[in-house]
Amino acid sequence: MCSILGIFDLQPGDDVHALRRRALELSQRQRHRGPDWSGVHQDDGAILVHERLAIVDPAGGSQPLRSADGELVLAVNGEIYNHRDLKQSLKRPYAFQTGSDCEVINALYREDADLSAWLNRLNGIFAFTLWDRARRRYVIARDPIGVCPLYWGHDASGRVCIASEMKALADVCADVAQFPPGHYYNSTTGRLTRYYDRPWRDHAATQGVEVPLPELREALERAVHRQLMTDVPYGVLLSGGLDSSLVAACAARFARRRVEEDDRAEAWWPRLHSFAIGLAGSPDLAAAKIAAEALGTVHHGFEYTFEEGLDALPEVIRHIESYDVTTIRASTPMFLLARRIKAMGVKMVLSGEGSDEIFGGYLYFHKAPNAREFHDETVRKLDALHTYDCLRANKAMMAWGVEPRVPFLDVEFLDVAMRMDARHKMAGQGRIEKALLREAFAGYLPDSILWRQKEQFSDGVGYGWIDGLKANAEVHVSDREFAAAASRFPINPPQTKEAYFYRWIFERCFPGKACAESVPGGKSIACSSPTALAWDAAFAAAADPSGRAVAGVHRAALG
């Protein structure tokens, strides 16, 4: 995973050399995402800059990636897990210039004029821009869920600019905004088109559908196996919660063989390393140790102090480009953990994001009144992931050049897990959340981990973390300041002093209306959709997004 930056729609008379220097300066703001090498393409129509984090083909996969005739120029942030299958399925020869997994995008573009068709064949996480010099056309696309960040806007001269992070464009594009997941933009038509759309988005398509437990389990195993594609040292994030533990358990089964050689050769790094972080005595550190001992990983449990987390807040907010309370609470320990992981020479980790959205793992799902509303809420949560958990995991880790991968959001696994009737996923009346997933992996983990109650990451690292953040905000935000929050911050006014404090830091880094609008509005509680608020009147009055705020839901549901 890397960073990309592009400037398009250059006009006769533009000082291309000055624009190139400007593009390099902007790209440097996101070089933390790709510290291994920088590449630039410049011509009279486009400028592309790529900052590389070398994961696959470290010696020869530098970007931008050019076709043999030089007519196609590609800059990608991401990984294409099924690149070998795609190469074998090509109908016409293509002269690959590197061993990069991403170069297959050039081949698919040249072979198939239907952009939606071949984009839907990609299994991976990606944000890319492709410049077709002969047609003077550029294509911009983002992966289905939005695991990889991407922003775009127009500069003062009307040129289209794109970047992996908002900080590269914040003072260049007054209209900077997130590029939507699952979409592509074709400059020839000037249209933004949704290419990723699945039947399971409609609840009616899932009614009566059952997915056998072995099929669900094997689908996740295949997703983890695919995502072990790497030529550099890697590990797994292991909080001791269900989701990260399942990913680690699957990875442990494949770690000793090299995926890139169809498991025929021994892995270059056969010992699986796992990583956890928390305050001293945190629930996650204790649970992660139990899971690691059961799985036989080389485990690294790191402690951080509240003061270290507090000191990091301004940098965290600058990196994640959000003022959302839940996101910042969880991003800070993840940011600190990424630094420790980087210091150990690890460049890629597997993580457990996405499971709660797919299986209704948040505690408020216990209140879902029926399968239709349960299903619709999981779809809404998946649609919002690119502004919350995916944003957090990607930017907090990539702040230190560590690539996070998310097997639960593998497109093939999503098609298996989301096509089932939501009545099989529902919790409540004595049934714990994500019971179906737990049952599918019976025997993979100790029962204390497999059946561990849901805790948000920001809770699991230690309850003193959230309590301390609230107390810190009380010291720094006066009652008078908070009373004027709506006039001070008219876009998404903060609902708590903690939210006000984060918003103040955010505005110092990212002033301007467009930057403020890039962050989702409303309350920062996980169940803030109109649908979920209707499930229980108590949700409407809740301003604290902590899992503990709805812990009574869990206790009541289990009776």
- Domain ranges in the chain are 3-197, 201-472
Helix axes 325-343, 306-320, angle to 10 degrees: 100
Which CATH code fits 3-197?
3.60.20.10
Spot the catalytic one: 2, 148, 161, 173: 2
Q: What confidence score (pLDDT) does residue 428 get?
A: 87
Q: What are the DSSP E strand ranges found in 210-333?
A: 234-237, 273-278, 298-303
Q: Is 2 a catalytic residue?
A: yes
Distances (CA, A) of 195 to 114, 145, 151: 10, 12, 18
The pTM score is 0.94
Q: pLDDT truncated to tens, each residue of the chain (559 aa)? A: 799 999 999 999 999 999 999 999 999 999 999 999 999 999 999 999 999 999 988 888 789 999 999 999 999 999 999 999 999 999 999 999 999 999 999 999 999 999 999 999 999 999 999 999 999 999 999 999 999 999 999 999 999 999 999 999 999 999 999 999 999 999 999 999 999 999 999 999 999 999 999 999 999 999 999 999 999 999 999 999 999 999 999 999 999 899 888 899 998 888 999 999 999 999 999 999 999 999 999 999 999 999 999 999 999 999 999 999 999 999 999 999 999 999 999 999 999 999 999 999 998 999 999 999 999 999 999 999 999 999 999 999 999 999 999 999 999 999 999 999 999 999 988 899 999 999 999 999 999 999 998 766 556 687 799 999 999 999 999 999 999 999 999 999 999 999 999 999 999 999 999 999 999 974 444 445 666 667 877 765 665 555 555 555 545 544 4
- E-assigned strands of 30-173? 37-42, 46-52, 65-66, 72-80, 124-132, 137-142, 151-154, 160-163
Please say whether the beta carbons of 253 and 443 come within 8 A: no
Q: Which two tokens mark 334? A: 């993840």
404 in Cβ contact with 394 (< 8 Å): yes
Pick the CATH number of 201-472 from 3.40.50.10860, 3.40.50.620, 3.40.50.200, 3.40.640.10: 3.40.50.620
Which pair of structure tokens corresponds to residue 59? 């010696």
Helices (H), 166-271: 213-226, 242-254
